[in-house]
Amino acid sequence: MDPIDDPRTTAWLDQQEQLVADDIREYGVHIVYVLPDPPHKQTSIAYTVGLFGIGHPELVALGLCQHDASSLLNDVASRIRRGSKLIPGELLTFGRWFHRVTIEESPNPGEIVFTANRHYQRPASASVRALQLTYDDMAGRFPWDHGYDVAAWIQPRPGSFTA
């Protein structure tokens, strides 16, 4: 039996879709957090679901703990719901978080934002757009800057990872 045809899997997916819809209705966005897999040197992935419905790309953050990822995504999603339209190359600052964030286009969102595509009923080949929120290290350097702390900051470049 195909796992997708298994009644338990179907019921679980239905419950997840209801949770996503309820979160979007109540909070304006649902956040998906995928735990890191250190043995395989894979980073954590967090992304929004719900911004596409108001005409904006979804947001992706990598390498953050669940608390920091949720705080970052909720802050930026709130800005978008208040009318901001993020553009690649834009630099964001935060009152309570000392990191700066630059906006980058994700070239392969269909390999990352699975829940968003399921929610909006889009195949990976016609994925919703996504923007990666790339943050600086403790010294204020971004991944493309000389001396960026790659050992402490697991933050792959857009297009070089999948979920």
- Long-range (24+ apart) CB contacts under 8 A made by 76-83 are 76/101, 76/133, 77/28, 77/29, 77/48, 77/50, 77/51, 78/28, 80/51, 80/54, 80/56, 81/28, 81/29, 81/54
Q: Is 80 helix (H, G, I), strand (E, B) or coil?
A: helix
Among 10-14, 21-25, 80-84, 115-119, which is the least confidently predicted range? 10-14
- 67 contacts: CB under 8 Å, gap ≥ 6: none
Length of the chain (residues): 163
Q: Please, which pLDDT band fits residue 20 given cuts at 50, 70 and 90? A: very high
φ, ψ dihedrals at 85, nearest 5°: -120, 110
Q: Is the pLDDT of residue 163 over 60?
A: yes
Task: Report the pLDDT averaged over residues 115-137.
Answer: 96
Give the number of other Cβ atoms within 10 Å of residue 54's Cβ: 12
pLDDT value at 113 more than 70: yes
